[in-house]
Amino acid sequence: MMQRVIIIGMGKMGLVHGSIMNILPDAEVVALCDLDKSLGNYVKSIGLNAPFYPTLDEALKEVQADSVLVTTPQFSHRVVAEAAIKHNLHVFIEKPSAHTLEDAQALYDLVKGRSEIVHAVGYMKAHYPLYQEMGRLIQDGVLGTVKNFRASLYLSQVFAPKSGWMFTQKQAGGGLLTNTACHLLYLLYAWFGELAGVYAKTVSLHSKEVEDTASAVMEFRNGVVGTLHSSWSVPGFQVEETEVLIEGTNGILIADDNRYRLHLINPHDAYPQGWTVRHRSETDTVSFNLSPEYGGEGYYNEDLNFIQCCRDGKPALVTWYDGLQVQKMMDAMYRSSREGYITLTSSSE
Ligand SMILES: NC(=O)c1ccc[n+]([C@@H]2O[C@H](COP(=O)([O-])OP(=O)(O)OC[C@H]3O[C@@H](n4cnc5c(N)ncnc54)[C@H](O)[C@@H]3O)[C@@H](O)[C@H]2O)c1
């Protein structure tokens, strides 16, 4: 069945998802919403022709919908998503789940046990086929027992104090981690599971309120230990670059957004002894890639996954439970920066 979609928040990410939704065969964008009414004519001029309303409640007085995409800043995710859940709509929220752990927990509590509602979070690297293949390698024991990792994410974005919600502690919940490095935290969670403990330092180089760099030693509940370093204040990274090196008892896996290199001591199933190299171009099969340099197939695949899950009544690949786990990682890193080593309680406790 065709999914009737409302997009709330017509800034940068609203336009990205609007363009993709426009070409997905099972989706029909029935309304666009933004508190900033001046955006109505602008979105029309770039081909997004659905009726425009300031709020979801206004839109629902005139149109019927099955699902919403919440592409507003994270400080408003909870209030907007709550309104959508009240109408029993399926809800995708952009990352991070919220600007605080409290809001991310409240969002998960709203949908816990309600399998009729599809809930998703926009950690789009989850939808890169290359990273999914790496997840299967780790899961299937190709690397033997994974023991440790080194991970980094760099970007050239902040070289002087900047204004706007993204650089405001109260609205964004932080800086580099909540806006950018959370994508890398999601990957670590997807590959290694729940974080058990962390020692982190977050540092402001240029921003007035939020951190520009983060360094951490992280211990996962499955015994994997590793280090993370990230900064959005490094020249030379116009396009964000993620890199990981994962060591196991049977070899290593070195990867970035564009390729992985696997080196095995002993062959494992289809993977030979020695080096195997896989490029993103070998795994990328999407029919529409809005921004090949940054996240293109990830955005397309995540929207496709959300729409298909809404249509088929299945859980999304990245749920609000997963979003909460990443929020716990960020919260622990911020606390650690003030208080020292943080031990996290297990979700099953
Ligand atoms: N997945 C990614 O790669 C990625 C990249 C950038 C941003 N994001 C996330 O996407 C979200 C949006 O970021 P952006 O860069 O598009 O922001 P933006 O500032 O460009 O746009 C946000 C829009 O939301 C509107 N808005 C704010 N509160 C609203 C409300 N209560 N109801 C309706 N409209 C409201 C604003 O008027 C604005 O037009 C954030 O959570 C951000 O962290 C994700």
Output DSSP code: residue 263.
E
The residue nearest atom 37 of ligand 1, judged by CA position, is: 36
Tell whether 313 is covered by a domain: no
Tell whether 304 is covered by a domain: no
Tell whether 308 is covered by a domain: no
Residues 41 and 161 in one domain: no
Q: How many helices (H) and strands (E) does the chain have?
A: 12, 15
248 Cβ closer than 6 Å to some ligand 1 atom: no
Residues 185 and 277 in one domain: yes
Tell whether 303 is covered by a domain: no
- How does residue 24 score in pLDDT terms, banded at 50, 70 and 90? very high
Alpha helices in 46-93 (DSSP H): 56-62, 77-86
Residue at which a domain ends, from 90, 124, 158: 124
- How does residue 113 score in pLDDT terms, banded at 50, 70 and 90? very high
305 Cβ closer than 6 Å to some ligand 1 atom: no
Residues 146 and 252 in one domain: yes
Q: How many CB atoms lie within 10 A of CB 259?
A: 15
Output DSSP code: residue 233.
B
User: Which atom of ligand 1 is least distant from the CA of 12?
Assistant: 16
Burial class (CB in 10 A: 0-12, 13-18, 19+), 287: exposed
For position 297, what pLDDT does the model report?
Answer: 85
CATH code where residue 153 lies: 3.30.360.10
9 Cβ closer than 6 Å to some ligand 1 atom: yes
Residues 194 and 280 in one domain: yes
DSSP string, 223-264: S-EEEEEEESB-TT-SS-EEEEEEEETTEEEEEESSEEEEEE
Tell whether 300 is covered by a domain: no
CA distance 227 to 82: 36
Give how many domains the chain has, as a whole number: 2
- How does residue 207 score in pLDDT terms, banded at 50, 70 and 90? very high
Residues 227 and 120 in one domain: no
- How does residue 165 score in pLDDT terms, banded at 50, 70 and 90? very high
Residues 117 and 159 in one domain: no
Question: Does the pLDDT at position 286 exceed 80?
Answer: no
Residue at which a domain ends, from 101, 124, 147: 124
- Distance, CA 170 to ligand 1 centroid (Å)? 15
Residues 133 and 73 in one domain: no
Amino acid identity, position 195: L
For residue 245, the enclosing domain spans 125-285+321-343
Residues 82 and 173 in one domain: no
Tell whether 349 is covered by a domain: no
Residues 184-195: tens digit of each pLDDT: 999 999 999 999
Q: What is the mean pLDDT of the chain?
A: 95
For position 347, what pLDDT does the model report?
Answer: 82
CA distance 243 to 255: 6
Kind of pairing between the strands at 342-343 and 195-203: antiparallel
Residues 266 and 220 in one domain: yes
179 Cβ closer than 6 Å to some ligand 1 atom: yes
Residues 263 and 330 in one domain: yes
Q: How wide is the angle at C-alpha 11 spanned by C-alphas 8 and 16, nearest 5°?
A: 85
Residues 68 and 35 in one domain: yes
Residue at which a domain ends, from 72, 102, 124: 124
Residues 278 and 204 in one domain: yes
CATH code where residue 111 lies: 3.40.50.720
- How does residue 243 score in pLDDT terms, banded at 50, 70 and 90? very high
User: Which atom of ligand 1 is least distant from the CA of 179?
Assistant: 43
